[in-house]
Amino acid sequence: MKYKDLIEAHGLTLHGDIEHFAALVEAAARADEREACAKVCDALPAPDIYSNTDKSMWDVTCIDCATAIRARGTT
């Protein structure tokens, strides 16, 4: 039995379902990569050259950056 016959025997189509599955795997990998990048933003410490006021602004900027990265997967 050829692989195409085996795939179709299980109710799948070679160019529909398998391509859809591959797209899902690719999307999951991109989501993992986005989350890893967002975690880097979450963990960025403010440089010592900033005052306390500037440090809170740095934190807000990092949070906004992490939020934007995470949102890319939902838009």
DSSP notation for 4-59 = HHHHHHTT--TTTHHHHHHHHHHHHHHHHHHHHHHHHHHHPPPPTTS-HHHHHHHH
pLDDT tens for the chain, residues 1 to 75: 566 676 677 676 666 677 777 777 788 888 899 999 999 988 887 777 667 667 777 778 888 889 999 998 765
What is the number of domains present in the chain? 1
pLDDT at 39: 93
Its pTM stands at: 0.59
Domain hosting residue 7, numbered range: 3-71
